[in-house]
Amino acid sequence: MNNNLQFNKSDPRHKAREVTLAALFAYSFNSQLKQNLTYHKEVLEISDEDTGMAKFLYDGVTSNIQLLDEIIAFCAPEWPLDQVSKLDLSCLRLAVFELTIANNAPPKVIINECVELAKSFANDSSGKFVNGVLATVLENYTIKK
């Protein structure tokens, strides 16, 4: 699915996804802890992110986590969720939310962004795994235009 779209790490939307991913990763360890997006922004040394988008994404993912996990489990049946790395799962939750509920960007952009995040914060095999699962999500759960 990843088809060499122009990727801009300075884009405020990309930075918002980075902050959201950091907060979702922390959430995966302790869902009772209220996440402070400003804290994650400072830890990652991010400036000029789209704060409203980061909050929208974080709230959307955490509010729909059970549904998102069901979709991920269906699209990656050979990988039980408890065996998927917390970082990969956080990337997948973010992208599946954007693809199926938020519908806030073109699917190729969402997938490319999350694959790049997985590769940046984990490794190339994470990027390939995320890309494969998201291709299945795109095929099964998004509206064809």
pLDDT in tens, 3-33: 444 556 788 999 999 999 999 999 999 988 8
Here the CATH number for the domain that contains residue 90 is 1.10.940.10
Residue 7 lies inside a defined structural domain of this protein = no
In whole angstroms, what is the distance from residue 26 CA to residue 96 CA? 18
Residue 29 lies inside a defined structural domain of this protein = yes
Residue 101 lies inside a defined structural domain of this protein = yes
Q: Using CA of residue 23, residue 28, residue 33, residue 34, what is the dihedral sign? A: positive
pLDDT in tens, 127-144: 999 999 999 999 998 765
pLDDT at 145: 52
Distances from the Cα of 73 to the Cα of 5, 36, 78, 118, angstroms: 27, 28, 8, 18
Give the count of beta carbons closer than 10 Å to the beta carbon of residue 10: 8
Q: How confident is the model at residue 99 (pLDDT cuts 50, 70, 90)?
A: very high
Residue 5 lies inside a defined structural domain of this protein = no
Q: How many helices (H) and strands (E) does the chain have?
A: 7, 0
Domain hosting residue 110, numbered range: 12-141
Q: What pTM was computed for the model?
A: 0.90
Residue 57 lies inside a defined structural domain of this protein = yes
Average pLDDT over the chain, rounded to whole? Answer: 90
For residue 98, pLDDT beyond 90: yes
